[in-house]
Each structure stands twice: as C-alpha cells, then as structure tokens.
Amino acid sequence: MSRTEQGGRRRLDASVPPEYDLPTREPRLESARVARIVMAVVFGLWLVGTIGAGTAVVAVGAPTWVERPSAALLMVVFAVSLTHRGGGHMRIWLPMTAALAVAAVVLETNLLLASAASVSAVLSAVWAVMVTRPASSIVGAIREYVLALVVALSGTLSVAAWNAPVNYQRFNLIVITVALGLAITLVWNLGAGLHGLGRQNLAILTGVAVLLLLILAYSSFVRSHGSDTLVNLFSDLVIWSRQTFEGVPRPVEVFIGFPALIVGVSMRSKRREGWWVLVFAVIGTAVLSTSLVTPGAFPSYIGLSTLYSSILGLIVGLVVRHYVMRERSARAARAIEQIVRVEPPRFAPLK
C-alpha cells in the first residue's frame, strides 16, 4: 500500500484501491437475484414482526394472540441475520432458535418464555452493533448510530411481546453478560485479537472498561451501603427528573454504550480494531433491549428515557470521536490521502 520515490518522502500509494483485510466465506446463494429476493423477504418479516410486537406496547386494538408469534418471528429474524453477518452455520443456529420460538409460543411455560425473551434481547443487541458499517464522516456515524438504535428497539418490542415473568435486575444482568460474551467471540476474529491493538487503542479500551466498572460498582455500592442522605438525594433527583421531563437518562447508555457506537464505527473506517470499542456498545443496546421486559414498565417513560439517553449519548460520542479521530502525527497529515478501510456490504458476511 506504499511506495518510496527516489529523493522524496514515503507516501501512501493512492493508485491501489483498499481491500477488505479478512477472508470471507463463499456466498450462500450464487444467484444475485435470489439473494436480493431473500434479503427483501427477511426485511419484510422483520418489519411484520416489529409491527406485530409493537401491539404489546401501543394499544391499537389488535388481538393479543398476535404478540408472541410476532416476538417469535423477530427472534428467528435476529438469529438468521446475526448468523449470516458473522459467517456462522445457518443449519445449526436457525433450527435451534426456531424450535425455541415455536415451543415458547405453543407451551407458554415460564421457563420457555423467559428463555425466548433473553435470546431475543441478546440477538437483537449484538446484531444492532454487527449490522453497522464503517463511517468516516460525522453524518455517516450518526446514520449508523440511528440504525443500531432502531434494530435494538425492535428487540425491545420483541422482549415486551413475550411478556415473560422475570426479575428485571437478574434478567438484565444475564442478557448483558451473554451479549458481551457473544460480541467478544465475534469481534475477536474481526478485530485481529488483542495483539492487534495499538498503544492508543488499548488505552482507550482500558479507560472505557475502568469507567464502566466504576459506574456499576458505585451504583451498586450506593444502593446497598450508601447513606440515607445520599440515597435520598439520588431518589429525589430521579423523581424530579421524572416529574419534570417524564423520563430519566440511563448513565450506562449515556457514558458507555451509545458513545461507543459513534466512536467504534468511526474507528472502523481506519482500523479494524474499532470493533473492540463496539464491544462496549453492546452494553448500551442490551440495556435498551431489556428496558420493557417488566410488564409494569410504562412505555412512555421508557421511550422518553431512551430518547434522552440517545441524545446525550450522541453528544458525548461526538465529543470523544473528535479527539480519537484526530491525526496525531505530521507524517500522517502529509500522506496523499487518509487511510480508508473497506468492509463487505451491510448484509454480507464479515468473516
């Protein structure tokens, strides 16, 4: 990708187009026309499932029996899309997911409903991040940000439509843990492993991880061992925000998950190590996908809280992106053109 001219400084060779830096599997469908038809069918099923699952949140007079089949349809779509995007084996994961979906709809036992809701939340949270593409501009980063939130919100509706009898705190912790594990497994290959991280990227990931641990540890400590004055202060602040704005931003989304989306897709436009930043974005999409799992949750309150979190998270992410994406050496600034990394199309396998 570079050449040295006699008597001149070393520059990037702009005559050679960039290539994807990972091998990908052969297309599942050889015919491009058939592939487009299948893609359109999957998108249509996702749209139908989202609308049907939305009847569990918005009162439109639809029959209640529509809700869980719609949630099952969404779960299968999530499984198909994520398996295809990650280059996995469709003949293994699709039958397993479909069997769970059918069993949960037919039998309606508490265990099956809780399992289906958790699988829907995990798959939608991870797919919301994996479906994004590298973005070299602010407009492109915002586009990918909105797309990821829309996908995660469809997962939120799917979880709500299952109406599973679960404990929110335990369910949320399980979904975040499993989603993080799945994301790390996928990103390990896409991000070249930990050995591919530079000093700057490793420092960023370490800082984000430390900040996440501090937020979670501090919030847990305050709830269990905090003084009455401090606990009452936080409670009063939440009550005031809820009464004034009818919603409360979620700190994990504002300071960790949503900014990581903006920074991650931007870093991927130059280095595939940007995938490691997107691991933390899964935390935000996982929290979002589980926000309506409790049957007593108010959709208007959750919706406004998500809106406030997404706006604040976008602002924080753009500020961090400004510093992370700056060229830090004169040598890079003198290059003929900036490094541009390419990836397969949005609905093509990454591996």
Report the amino acid identity of residue 152.
A
Q: Write out pLDDT tens, residues 313-328.
A: 999 999 999 988 876 6
9: number of Cβ within 10 Å: 9
The closest of 150, 175, 153, 147 to 53, measured between CA atoms, is: 153
Domain boundaries defined on the chain: 15-333
Q: How far apart are CA 70 and CA 112, in angstroms?
A: 16
Mean pLDDT within 249-275: 89
Cβ atoms of residues 220 and 164 within 8 Å: no
Residues in the chain: 351
Mean pLDDT within 237-259: 81
Q: Write out pLDDT tens, residues 193-225.
A: 665 566 666 676 677 677 766 766 666 666 566
Residue 217 is predicted with a pLDDT of 66
Q: Write out pLDDT tens, residues 64-119.
A: 899 999 999 999 999 999 999 988 888 999 999 999 999 999 999 999 999 999 99
**More confident of the two residues 232 and 324:** 324
Residue 221 is predicted with a pLDDT of 64
131 pLDDT above the threshold of 80? yes
Q: Would you call 213 helix, strand, or coil by DSSP?
A: helix
Q: How far apart are CA 68 and CA 49, in angstroms?
A: 10
Q: Read off the pLDDT band of 149 (50, 70, 90).
A: very high
Q: How far apart are CA 143 and CA 137, in angstroms?
A: 10
Residue 113 is predicted with a pLDDT of 96
Helix axes 32-54, 138-162, angle to 10 degrees: 60
Q: Considering the entire predicted model, what is its pTM?
A: 0.86
